[in-house]
Amino acid sequence: MPPKGIRHRFAMKNKNMNEMNAEITTINQKNTTPDDDSFQHSVQKSTKSRKRVQKSGGTSTSKENRPKRQKPFADRKIELTITSSTSEDEDLDFGEDGLYPVKEGQLLKKRYKISKLLGVGGYATVHMAMNQKTKDNVALKIVRCGEWYNEVSDREIQIMKTIKNSSCEKLDSDSPIGANNVVSLLDNFRIKGEYGMHVVMVTEMLGPDLFSILVKSNQKVLSFDRIQRFSRDILNGLHFLHSNCGVMHLDLKPENIMVTIDPDSMDLNDPNCLASVKIGDFGLTCYTTEDVTRTVQSCCYRSPEAFLKAHITPAADIWSFGCTLYEMATRELLFKCNDSENCSRVFHMDNLSNLLGPIKRSLFKKEKENEWPLEQVFSEKKVLTGHPESTNFICPEELRKRTLMDEHQAQACSDFMGELMKIDPKKRLTAEQALKHPFFMEHC
């Protein structure tokens, strides 16, 4: 557990998190590489502070709020612009258990020259830096000092090294499918600050996270084809993590999915635009052989078994992907939380039941760790039943109201999400099975 008071500081810091205060306008710029103008957010973000288009409780969506169809690609040329409101003057915590004060142009490990600050969170700062040996831009995640932070960071590094080793097991062959859809650890070291040692993780430099694309960019509405492509990348990454690495991510969400885009063609709705995604941030990742008893997954993407402290398997990641897929399609949260730090289990499980139907208590084995959560949610009931008048937001009709999908696309997407978000984790699709779902066969 973090030191006393840290969890509250996490919530408050993340609520007011700084992000890079810039606009990305890298299309067709000469004498630059794709990395020069990209940015990466790999710090924690609070779901509570995220501003979204809210779902209406009714069964209709106004025409004003519906996404508009784009003009033909030949008639338009679109840059990718991401804006964010940042207070650069906000005081940062550099005290005990605090952040490391980094200056622009500073050289770390006699190798990494700091270019600029990319993001600040309760856990770390992220900076763009130039590798003086390779001349490549990289991202440096510099963690707070303190014993607890060092232990958590060492754990994340261990996981990322496991992933890296799984990518390179066969030196005489190509990387396994999905290895290129996971953020790579390039280096790690420690630096000494005024109050102690800080862990530094060096990763490849990528583009914006998926959350920034969906909420803060000028290309919020993704085409069905782009949703399919990003979904395939995410599932390939999950399949690699689950099957090749033996790990569960356990914090999959748009903020932890990084987007790489060809700077010469940045219109995401153009089928010729080369863009892909990678899964990052392994701070909550666990091995599949572990008996996970701590709270995992961000609230809005948390699976039923995680809320009930039941047995955690790779199926928990599939649930989070289902929530992320809905968000890619609608730019709305499928499940809202009433408290970003400690969402009421009763509130959240009621929401799940309203959308997905009755939840049987017998699906979750009673053990010492989950005796209270089960009692809290079910009490004396054997089945948790939802309200019959509740709106099914993943049905084809609702998807068509909130997206540009046609009838067949909405049906395929609805069927797919239903298979991804089965209440019983044993009945959910695996990542490998999901990649073969008819959803990917539906042409746009």
Which positions make up the binding site for ATP?
141
The residue among 250, 304, 323, 325 whose CA lies nearest residue 427 is 304
Biggest alpha carbon–alpha carbon distance for the chain: 68
Q: What is the dihedral of CA 67, 222, 33, 167, to 10 degrees?
A: 160
The alpha carbon of 7 is separated from its chain's Cα centroid by a whole number of angstroms, namely 20
The residue among 392, 288, 382 whose CA lies nearest residue 57 is 392
Alpha-carbon span 251 to 249, nearest angstrom: 6
Write the single-letter amino acid at 73: F
Alpha-carbon span 179 to 325, nearest angstrom: 21
Secondary structure class of 369 (helix, strand, coil)? coil
Write the single-letter amino acid at 50: R
Write the single-letter amino acid at 76: R
Alpha-carbon span 261 to 140, nearest angstrom: 20
Write the single-letter amino acid at 143: V
Residue 106 contacts residue 125 (beta carbons within 8 Å): no
The token pair at 383 is 């089945």
Of the CA atoms within 13 Å of residue 220, those in its CB half-sphere come to 17
∠ CA 376-428-275, rounded to 5°: 115
The token pair at 192 is 């000494």
Which residues fall in the annotated binding site?
A: 141
Alpha-carbon span 442 to 64, nearest angstrom: 28
| Non-local CB neighbours of 324 within 8 Å, separated by 6+ positions | 210, 234, 252, 253, 254, 257, 301
The residue among 55, 41, 65 whose CA lies nearest residue 125 is 41
Burial letters 265-278, b for 16+ CB under 10 A, else e: bbbbbbeebebbbb
